Amino acid sequence: MHIVLLKHFAFDDASVILAWAEQEGCQTTVLFPPDGIALPRMDDFDWLIILGGPMSAYDKEDWLQQEKRFIRSAVDHGKHVLGICLGAQMLAEALGGKVYRNEQKEIGWHPVTRTRAAHRLFEDVPASFHSFHWHGDCFDLPDGALSLAYSDACRHQAFAYGERVLGLQFHLETTPSCLAMMLDRWQDELSDAPFIQTADRIRQEHTAVRSRSASCGTFSTVSRPFAR
């Protein structure tokens, strides 16, 4: 299986995903759409992974429009598609949903709860778990999408579209080095708000969550069904 992985900020760390792909015998190509690079042909890959970023899915930059068309084409061609945070928002918009500012920013380690809906791409995920979040936008589900999870701050934390497409608002792939860089570069976003934790709390929770339940904090939890 050949994976195309799209990154949107330079210090994003995809090492968890790349390690999993290597373990599964997958070839991975990492691309950076904000540079205006040409995206591959549909015949050149099997699985598309779209990572997060500090921009919004509804911004007007040409590369964002190009990427959303590419995402929609990947879905239409029957590719496996996984969108994470910004990636999930672009995926939702590409499929006809609306992306907009959420009432509350959600930053830090917060609980996620599964809905009663069942889907094979979410079958290994616990009924409730803590995950890392860093987002201010949310989305309405596209027609035909299945809501799979929610949180107190955001009613759509995960959705499936058909049998091969999954969107996640939360981050299972965050590494300690990327987390440290985010806290350094984006510390101005850590305001006093109901669903925004302090930098110290985020660091403490990171240690606690990793020791409490590794299965909830690893990319392989949701990626395993894609490889079947």
The rounded percent of the chain whose pLDDT value lies above 70 is 93
User: Residue 39: which of 63, 18, 60 has the closest Cα?
Assistant: 63
**What is the pLDDT averaged over residues 76-88?**
98
Is the predicted pLDDT of residue 11 greater than 90, yes or no? yes
More confident residue, 218 or 173: 173
Taking residues 85-107, what's their average pLDDT?
97
Task: Work out the mean pLDDT of the chain and round it to a whole number.
Answer: 93
Is a pLDDT exceeding 60 seen at residue 174? yes
User: What pLDDT is recorded for position 95?
Assistant: 97
User: How far from each other are the two terminal CA atoms of the chain, in whole angstroms?
Assistant: 11
The per-residue pLDDT for 207 is: 81
Q: Is the pLDDT of residue 147 over 60?
A: yes
Residues designated catalytic: 85, 171, 173
Q: Which residue has the tokens 């803590």?
A: 130
Sheet containing strand 80-84, edge to edge, reads 27-31, 2-6, 47-50, 80-84, 165-168, 158-161, 145-150, 99-114, 128-139
What pLDDT does residue 227 have?
67
In this prediction the pTM is 0.94
- Cβ neighbors of 207 (< 8 A, separation 6 or more) are none
Of 103-107, 174-178, 186-190, the poorest mean pLDDT is in 174-178
Distance CA 217, CA 172 (A): 5
Question: Residue 214: what pLDDT?
Answer: 43
For the segment 125-148, the average pLDDT, to the nearest whole number, is 96
Pairing of strands 99-114, 145-150: antiparallel
Which pLDDT belongs to residue 138?
Answer: 97
* Residue 65 DSSP SS3: helix
Q: In a 3-state reduction of DSSP, which class is residue 201? A: helix
Listed in sequence order, the residues at least 6 apart from 158 whose beta carbon sits closer than 8 Å to its beta carbon are 88, 112, 122, 147, 148, 149, 166, 167, 168, 169, 170
